[in-house]
A and B are shown apart, each in its own frame.
Chain A
Amino acid sequence: MTTGPPMMSMLESYLKLSASREQAISANMANIDTPGYRTHDINLESEFNKVMSGALRSSEDGAEPVQLTPVFHLVQGLMERPDGNNVSLDHEGLMLAKTQLQYQLAIQLIQNHFHQTLSAINGGS
């Protein structure tokens, strides 16, 4: 029926990664005035690809959840203030908006998936 990792665990992983990103953004925003603080972020797309390729290998042995340990890296190319802090208000605001939308997308897809399943179960008589 399907090849590749099941839809639900894909969406769940994407959701968790978005939440991790949101946490990094919150920390960046909180430390906008901390001297020497550097902006952190995760690369959502590459982390998700890692999960997908990992899940492909394990999907044959059953529903083993792939452990999520996203790598946080320092963001390059941001302007640094004299005290060493490089958090940009606009950059973080933009990333937050983007992450919120990605999270919402995943939630919506998950809801749709459940609805489909439920109508297959209940409506198929």
Chain B
Amino acid sequence: MNSVVPGLGSIGTISPLPKLPSLQPAEGQGGFGAVLSSALHHLNQLSGGAEQQVGNLLKGVGGDVSSVMIAVEKADVAFQMMMQVRNKIVSAYQDIEKMQF
């Protein structure tokens, strides 16, 4: 996995960021689609949670401003990671497409 997205190893310490499943070579329909949709699913959870916390904060209910800010930032970071993953996957796919046999 590190060869596809270099630099991912250094952010393993953050717990809520999605753990992407390792890519299975040549599994047919699995592969890129599965990786993306799993990352999307984790991202949805994170941003849904963040949205709910923001709603609560605006209503005046529940926790600290700081917790809400951190949750929003975590969702943002996860989103950016997903975008990068998507970019890498798409560009890897395009590289493979260009190969001629």
A touching B, CB within 8 angstroms: yes
A-side residues, CB < 8 A to B, are 1-2, 6-9, 12, 15-16, 19, 59, 62-63, 107, 110, 113-114, 116-118, 120-125
Q: How large is the interface on B (under 10, 10 to 19, 20 to 34, 35 or more residues)?
A: 20 to 34
Q: Is B37 an interface residue (CB 8 A)?
A: no
A6 to B88, CA, bound (A): 27
Closest 6 CB pairs of A and B: A124-B7, A6-B15, A63-B15, A1-B12, A2-B13, A120-B10
Least CB distance, B9 to chain A, in whole angstroms? 8
Beyond known contacts A2-B13, A117-B14, A124-B7: 15 more, CB 8 A cutoff: A1-B13, A7-B13, A7-B14, A8-B14, A15-B67, A19-B66, A63-B16, A110-B70, A117-B77, A120-B11, A121-B77, A121-B81, A121-B84, A123-B7, A124-B6
Does A6 contact B13, Cβ atoms closer than 8 Å?
Answer: yes
B-side residues, CB < 8 A to A, are 5-17, 63-64, 66-67, 70, 73-74, 77, 80-81, 84, 88
* Residue in B closest to A2 when the chains form the complex, CB atoms: B13
